[in-house]
């Protein structure tokens, strides 16, 4: 790999150029992929958006994709559990004669 600033050859895993100190693409890409609570909250409150963002970002931004995907999964599981509880309450209420 070559430095985008000084064109010297650098290691493929280098975060900054050892000659000029300019960050490589790897560091710039990682700055935009921090995951975080905000992406998880977005996936939780709007699960379909979470699923779409997960599918779009899974290769480019794996940390963000993981956060938004977890939020979507947690939201979906909680909604299913909520409706299952309501269903069983309805069955119990109807069998009790209410």
The string of DSSP letters for 35-91 reads --HHHHHHHHHSHHHHHHHHHHHTTT-HHHHHHHHHHHHHHHHHHHHHHHHHHHHHH
Residue 8 shares a structural domain with residue 42: no
Q: Which pairs with CB-CB distance under 8 Å and at least 24 residues apart come from 49-56?
A: 50/75
Pair 57, 79 in one domain: yes
Same domain, 4 and 16: yes
Query: For residues 85, 87, 93 and 95, what is the CA-based torsion angle, rounded to 10 degrees?
Result: -120
Do 42 and 78 fall within a single domain? yes
Would the pLDDT of 98 be above 70? no
Q: Among candidates 91, 30, 87, which has minimal Cα distance to 64?
A: 30
pLDDT at res. 21: 87
The CB-based long-range contact list for 47-51 (8 Å cut-off, 24+ gap) reads 47/71, 47/72, 47/75, 47/76, 48/72, 50/75
Residues 43 and 24 in one domain: no
User: Are 22 and 45 within one domain?
Assistant: no
Instruction: List the structure tokens of 70.
Output: 């977890």
Is residue 55 domain-shared with residue 17, that is, in the same domain?
Answer: no
Range of lowest pLDDT (1-5, 19-23, 47-51, 66-70): 1-5
Domain count, the chain: 2
19 and 45 inside one domain: no
Same domain, 91 and 71: yes
Task: Give the model confidence (pLDDT) of 30-84 as tens digits.
Answer: 667 888 899 999 999 999 999 999 999 998 889 999 999 999 999 999 999 999 9
Containing domain of residue 87, as a range? Answer: 35-95
**pLDDT at res. 5:** 86
Q: Same structural domain for residues 23 and 69?
A: no
């Amino acid at each position: 790999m070559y430095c985008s600033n000084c064109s010297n050859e650098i290691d493929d895993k280098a975060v900054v150029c050892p000659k000029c100190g300019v960050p490589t693409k790897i560091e710039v890409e990682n700055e935009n992929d921090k995951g975080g609570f905000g992406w998880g909250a977005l996936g939780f409150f709007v699960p379909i958006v979470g699923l779409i963002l997960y599918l779009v970002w899974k290769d480019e931004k794996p940390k963000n994709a993981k956060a938004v995907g977890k939020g979507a999964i947690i939201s979906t599981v909680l909604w299913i559990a909520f409706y299952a509880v309501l269903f069983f309450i309805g069955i119990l209420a109807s069998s009790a004669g209410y």
